[in-house]
A and B are shown apart, each in its own frame.
Chain A
């Protein structure tokens, strides 16, 4: 078992999320994270899905996804072949600022930033790998962390091939 980032490029169609994820759920594969956004090609959306499977299995999964009519192309990459990022938000009680521990230093160290402050709480944002956002979580929790949320992974692969070139190849013959 290894962590793979699966990138799926699709038409923007209602219900396609199900068509893509059912490939995984049917095979009892847990989705570690999933994000969907527009891509650089107009009308094409990209799914970024993180799963833990054997390489043999991820190969088959990518083909099953690509088999869906509205899926243009699907790829898988090992984590170190991608540049990836997640974002986390932390809600802290305002009292955390004045309890003697140096919150400011902590946030500075983690390159986190304060997005919003109210009389009762403040919202902290940090982007990074999961391990990094998790580390800040671990440090903020003893200070009375009120709420925590983390996004799915977004990833761009290091090998340089434009998606539009893949599309041209698809219909080359």
Chain B
């Protein structure tokens, strides 16, 4: 096996005559790609052949399905902040990536997805495994491009990595015809740092920053909402400085979770449909709303006609298209929120809003009594999802990366998991992709090998991508897998209970033996169906040096509360 010698790296700067496939591998090495998640097939075989000589420098992960590959790349990207890379063949290989690409677009995750394509002369002939992946991926990519000749490869790859990672990150797809992989080119790589039609990071207007500071300084009941943008731009420190200086209560969207430690006295909890009572109900009482790196998703706002109408909204946002999209702003600060907050900080006056903050704490106290206590310390016989999360918290010290799938367990995990360290929460927030968790957790562990990675999954979502146990086994990656099994598609069942007269249409699952499945994949596992066995089982899982799966039987028909019914106002939040 060859290694990347010094001569080889310096040779990158000179022109050399090589195949398109080798050029692709060299481009990836130039971009310091360490892992590439993928699945081979006919139209991408020349690239796989070229990768064969670079197995140490560019580690290919053989996932068990292309959807697993793209979610793993997402998990890697979310854990590291770097570009996740995946590769697939043409036709079904490419179409299987689409769900993950759509997920990455809506959750602003940098990806470069490489797909093989039939030779140029066959395009449009309905050839074997030919599909119009450029057309299919167009609405779900930040940018895409079809390479049909080898000479385009270096420039397009450089551009792809630049576009994926810069500004508001997103997925880029490069489709490469087989002939372009085989042809020779004069290879020379130059990193891209500019595209003339593209302004990735606008700069907030200083006058507007002053106006925002004035509003914040004069506010009686300011309220700060933060989202994924804080994590993406690495603005956790600035966020904390802003809230500590101004005394503003701060609440998070599901994508903003872990950008501010859970225990911070001004962290007042989660926004939105299953968020905390205080931040939702008091949304309609704040006078100035400071939204940082978030996009007012409908799961956060509920009915827009009754959302924060009394408030003057300051929106710190990198994507101009998000400004005034859902909520009308008083002051738009379009730029990188880290840079914007740095400019804002000296203009902010030291303040505290203790009585106002106290109202959030009062709400939390009420929620604690009515909901949280019962969820975390249940007296009933059946186990709750919340108590499992509480016990996981006891063992992670807020340092683990908690990866969740979609549904009840996701809401419970996000509500109750405690975070001390940034980039601790990885979930499919915008698209709500079941099956995301297991491969994403795997990718996250590769990206952050020194952190515990805990995959918390429902019994439904687990069965969507459980084949990735094979990938975890083959690579001997240490992922802690917790299935919260209620033998239902729990969130849909909850809606059926609350809004469809308990008509449980197609939500009850007859599940396989998850422990046997896991063991079949070589991963030790056990089933916990009694509370008294839970602590020991968790100890065994966290004490294990390898991957471990726990199937935890939880109450079948528990509901997640509080809840804002879909389309209702944040003021109509229900506690039961």
Contact = CB atoms under 8 A, between A and B. Distances in A.
A67 to B, nearest CB: 5
Given A59-B324, A60-B325, A72 B134 contact: no
B324 A69 contact: no
A150 to B, nearest CB: 29
A22 interface: yes
Nearest to B328: A56
A60 B199 CA distance: 18
Interface in A1-55: 10-11, 14-15, 18-19, 22, 26
A11 B197 contact: yes
B319 interface: yes
Interface string B298-339: 000000000000000000000111011100000000000000
B238 to A, nearest CB: 20
A173 to B, nearest CB: 5
A10 B320 CA distance: 18
A130 B259 CA distance: 55
B143 A69 contact: yes
A21 to B, nearest CB: 10
B135 interface: yes
Interface residues of B, number: 21
A70 B197 contact: yes
A69 B139 contact: no
Contact of A72 (B142, B144, B196, B319): B196
Contact of A63 (B143, B195, B196, B320): B320
A15 B199 contact: no
A70 B197 CA distance: 6
Interface in B136-153: 138-139, 142-144, 146
A10 B197 contact: yes
Given A22-B138, A69-B142, A69-B143, A171 B319 contact: no
Interface residues of A, number: 22
A26 B139 contact: yes
Given A10-B197, A19-B138, A72-B196, A67 B320 contact: yes
Interface string A85-118: 0000000000000000000000000000000000
22 contacts: A10-B197, A11-B197, A15-B135, A15-B138, A15-B144, A19-B138, A22-B139, A26-B139, A60-B325, A63-B323, A63-B325, A67-B321, A69-B142, A69-B163, A70-B143, A70-B197, A70-B198, A72-B196, A72-B197, A170-B199, A171-B199, A173-B203
Given A18-B138, A70-B198, 6 more contacts: A18-B135, A19-B138, A59-B324, A67-B320, A69-B142, A69-B197
Interface of A: 10-11, 14-15, 18-19, 22, 26, 59-60, 63-64, 66-67, 69-72, 167, 170-171, 173
Interface of B: 134-135, 138-139, 142-144, 146, 163, 195-199, 203, 319-321, 323-325
